Structures are given as structure tokens and as C-alpha cells.
């Protein structure tokens, strides 16, 4: 076998593979023997089919399969041993001479290769980070949200703003009718019609003006799809049946235990401190996410690397055949280039810093995410084995794709954490309101 690599320019090369009969014949003969043992052909006992008959019937397909396998193995081995940094995989050269599988003994295969050049990371570029200063408005909103979330539903006799009104909704001049729950907070015009009402009262209103010509609000109120409410308009009649109101939860031990676990917080002062700590931790995570986006953008924008553009476009089309057209690739090519650059940067950081993710880290991360889904602070002792089994089953699903995704996510987190250490971060203190507006 003869493999040669000819670099045509700084980012492109051609790979030529020449196979002689001695390279593939032993593997073909071995496969013919295997077929002879397993083939079931009328008139022959199992395992007694003559090799000549097998070769006559299946020889060409065996030859094609074995040569393709040999090509994949040897090309991958050659590129690995010669440390060729390539984009994607080698692509067969178009317009290659047709192969005569019946008579040809020597086979030549030619591939195009996109080369990824060496490059330096612009780690001297500074990135902007953020420290969030907590304000009283944010604290007050947190209290209000928590007390509402854990509050109790009561049924007052008369409605007030913020209540939910249950009743029968009917189109005045149409067939539509439905039992529904109208949140007074969704009403943008004529809110006074929905405040101060009680069971048995009848409210007449124009549905478009009442809900601000908002199809999402109309869908919520009617229970129909956004498409179905697109043509819904005119006067509607709503007969009140019941008023629902959320009474804010009291700042007592019951609420403290629901939020932070039994007896973790025992006083209003401890509760306030814990709320502030939790909010700051959440903002710190969000600030890190924003910093990481800035790191990615800064490195991608400033890395000096020459790419095999034409090969990249062809590779995208070949590997996404049927899903991406040449026009779509052109339209989104800048995005694909940015993704490729970030992948190259990430791989370089992993290699230079010998970053790794262990199996234990993958499993533990998966279990922590499951705990968060169930809103559990830790695994109860009696559920430890079940949780381990559940996590392992999840990671094995889809032929291990869930495991790979979790592994890649953890590796990307390690890459970003390392880059945060290596790059100069200019930290800026901003209010929580400004930060929320910025990170939308």
C-alpha cells in the first residue's frame, strides 16, 4: 500500500492511496471463508458451501466492503501517525476514474483534505466581567415572588386587581363558548369592568381591545391556539362564577423550611440573609455566563488563523447532504466559521492544559441535574441506589449520546474556567437592574 500526502497550499492538501492486490486479498479471502461457514444456500449443508460459489455470488460486494474498511483504517492511521491536523474528514476527489470491480487489481483513491494550521491564542486581550450590586428593589421583588409562589388560594366575594376570575366565556354573536380563568393582570383596557365583580355578575367587552389585540393573551384566555384566535374578534359575554386570589405566604417557619430545608433558617433575619446570598449566587452564575460569552467572542474575533474556506463549504454540504443547500451554507457561513474557530480554540486549550473529564464527574453532574429537576437538595439515603441506576440508564440512552453531550459540556466548562484564569478580566460593578437588562 502506498499513501502520499501532497500539500497544495497552506490550508489544502491531496491524499493519494494506492492499493495493490496483496494489500486487500488476504482480508477478502478471510471474509469469503466466513461467508462459506454462515451462508445458507439451497442444496448445500450449512458450513459446506464451496468458497468458489460464495465468491461468485458475493465476491464483488465482499471486495468493495473490505477495501472501504481498509481505506478508512489506513487513512486514519496515516493521518494520526503523521499528526495531520485536518478539518472534518478527507473528502473523495470529484470526477475520479470509474472503478472496474470485476477486473481491476490495483486501485487508486484520491482525497481532498482541509488543513488546520497552527495558531496562537490571543490571551492578552482583556475581557469585560461584571459584579452585580444588589439593590432593595430586587430584594422586594424576590420576597413578593416567593410569597406569591408559596401563597394560598382564597375565594373572596368581590374581585380586586391581580385576581383570577373563573367563569363562562361566550361570543355574543357566535358559537364559541368555554369555561375559562381570566387573569385581571392581562386586561389592558376596561380593567374596571373586572374589578369589584362577584359570582353571578355578567361582563360584556370587546375581546380585542380588552386584551390589547394580543393573540398570546387571547389564546391564554380562550384556550385556543394562536392561529385559531387570529380571526377572533367582536363582543363577548363573561358570566362570573368564582374569584381566585393568592394570599401571600407568611414569613414563618413553614415557608423557611419549604425553601431551604427543615430548620436551616429559623428567623426573619436569617431568611433575609439567605435570600440575599441566594440572589447574589444566581447573579454570579449569570455574570460568569456573560463573561464566558465575552471570552468566546473576544478570542474568536481576534484569533489569527487561515482556514480552508472552499473545502469547508464543500465539507458542510457533503456531511449535511439533504439538510443544507449551497445557498443556506453561503447565507450562514460566517456563523459556521465562528463555530469552527471556537472548536479549534477549545481543542487547543484542552491539549495545552491537559484538561480531562472523568467518568465520575459525568455521572455526578448528571445526578445533580436530576436532583435539581426534582427540587431536592440532596439524595435521600434510601434513594441512592435508584438514583445511580437512573443516571446510568439515562447516560446510556441513544447509543451513549447523552453521555457524550454531558462529557462535552463539562469539558467546555473546564475550558472556559481555564481561559478565565489566563485572560485579563476587567471587572465592572453594575446594578442588578442594569445587569438584567444587559443579559436579556
* pLDDT digit string (tens) for the chain, length 440 residues: 899 999 888 899 999 999 888 988 888 888 877 777 666 676 676 666 677 776 777 778 888 888 899 999 999 999 999 888 899 889 988 877 788 888 888 989 999 999 988 899 999 999 999 999 988 888 999 999 999 889 999 999 999 999 999 999 999 988 889 999 999 999 999 999 999 999 999 999 999 999 999 998 999 899 888 888 888 889 999 999 999 999 999 999 999 988 888 888 999 999 999 999 999 999 999 999 999 999 999 999 999 989 999 999 999 998 888 788 889 999 999 999 999 999 999 999 999 999 999 999 999 898 888 877 766 656 666 666 777 788 888 888 888 899 999 999 999 999 999 999 999 999 999 988 888 887 65
The CATH-assigned architecture of domain 152-247 is: Roll (3.10)
**CB 143 within 8 Å of CB 275:** yes
The CATH-assigned architecture of domain 2-114 is: 2-Layer Sandwich (3.30)
CA distance 384 to 380: 6
Listed residue (13, 289, 17, 24) closest to 130, CA to CA: 289
Where along the chain do its domains lie?
2-114, 152-247, 283-438
Would you mind telling me the total number of residues written for the chain in this entry? Answer: 440
Residue 380: what pLDDT? Answer: 64
CA distance 99 to 21: 14
The two beta strands, 164-171 and 91-92, are unpaired
Give the cell for residue 388. Answer: 445511580
Residue 390: what pLDDT? Answer: 83
Gyration radius of the chain over CA positions: 33
Residue 180: what pLDDT? Answer: 93
124: Cβ contacts below 8 Å, ≥ 6 apart: 423, 424
Residue 32: what pLDDT? Answer: 75
Amino acid at each position: 500500500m502506498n499513501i502520499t500526502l501532497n500539500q497544495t497550499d497552506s490550508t489544502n492538501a491531496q491524499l493519494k492511496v494506492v492499493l495493490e492486490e496483496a494489500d486487500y486479498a488476504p482480508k477478502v479471502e478471510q471474509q469469503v471463508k466466513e461467508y462459506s461457514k454462515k451462508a445458507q444456500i439451497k442444496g448445500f449443508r450449512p458450513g459446506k458451501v464451496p468458497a468458489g460459489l460464495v465468491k461468485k455470488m458475493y465476491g464483488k460486494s465482499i471486495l468493495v466492503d473490505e477495501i472501504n474498511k481498509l481505506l478508512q483504517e489506513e487513512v486514519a492511521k496515516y493521518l494520526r501517525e503523521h499528526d495531520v491536523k485536518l478539518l472534518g474528514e478527507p473528502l473523495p476527489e470529484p470526477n475520479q476514474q470509474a472503478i472496474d470491480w470485476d477486473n481491476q487489481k490495483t486501485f487508486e483513491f484520491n482525497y481532498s483534505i482541509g488543513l488546520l494550521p497552527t495558531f496562537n491564542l490571543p490571551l492578552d486581550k482583556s475581557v469585560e466581567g461584571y459584579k452585580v450590586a444588589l439593590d432593595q428593589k430586587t430584594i422586594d421583588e424576590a420576597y413578593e415572588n416567593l410569597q406569591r409562589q408559596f401563597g394560598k388560594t382564597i375565594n373572596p366575594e368581590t374581585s380586586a386587581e391581580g385576581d383570577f376570575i373563573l367563569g363562562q366565556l361566550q361570543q355574543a354573536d357566535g358559537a364559541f363558548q368555554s369555561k375559562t380563568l381570566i387573569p385581571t393582570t392581562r386586561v389592558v383596557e376596561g380593567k374596571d369592568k373586572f374589578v369589584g365583580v362577584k359570582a353571578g355578575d355578567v361582563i360584556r367587552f370587546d375581546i380585542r381591545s380588552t386584551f390589547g389585540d394580543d393573540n398570546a393573551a387571547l389564546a391564554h384566555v380562550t384556550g385556543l391556539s394562536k392561529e385559531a384566535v387570529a380571526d377572533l374578534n367582536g363582543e363577548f359575554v363573561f358570566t362570573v362564577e368564582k374569584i381566585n386570589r393568592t394570599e401571600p405566604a407568611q414569613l414563618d417557619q413553614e415557608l423557611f423550611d419549604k425553601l431551604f430545608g427543615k430548620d436551616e433558617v429559623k428567623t426573619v433575619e436569617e431568611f433575609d440573609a439567605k435570600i440575599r446570598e441566594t440572589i447574589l449566587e444566581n447573579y454570579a452564575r449569570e455574570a460568569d455566563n456573560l463573561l464566558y460569552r465575552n471570552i468566546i467572542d473576544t478570542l474568536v474575533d481576534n484569533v489569527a488563523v487561515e482556514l480552508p474556506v472552499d473545502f469547508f463549504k464543500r465539507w458542510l454540504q457533503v456531511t449535511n447532504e439533504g439538510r443544507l443547500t449551497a445557498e443556506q451554507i453561503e447565507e450562514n457561513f460566517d456563523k459556521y466559521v465562528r463555530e469552527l474557530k471556537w472548536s479549534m480554540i477549545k481543542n487547543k486549550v484542552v491539549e495545552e492544559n491537559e484538561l480531562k473529564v472523568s467518568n465520575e464527574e459525568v455521572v455526578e453532574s448528571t445526578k445533580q441535574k436530576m436532583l435539581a429537576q426534582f427540587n431536592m437538595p440532596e439524595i435521600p439515603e434510601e434513594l441512592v441506589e435508584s438514583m445511580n441506576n437512573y443516571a446510568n440508564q439515562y447516560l446510556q440512552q441513544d447509543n451513549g449520546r447523552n453521555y457524550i453531550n454531558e462529557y462535552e459540556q463539562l469539558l467546555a466548562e473546564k475550558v472556559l474556567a481555564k481561559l478565565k484564569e489566563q485572560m485579563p478580566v476587567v471587572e465592572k460593578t453594575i446594578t442588578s437592574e442594569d445587569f438584567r437588562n444587559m443579559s436579556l
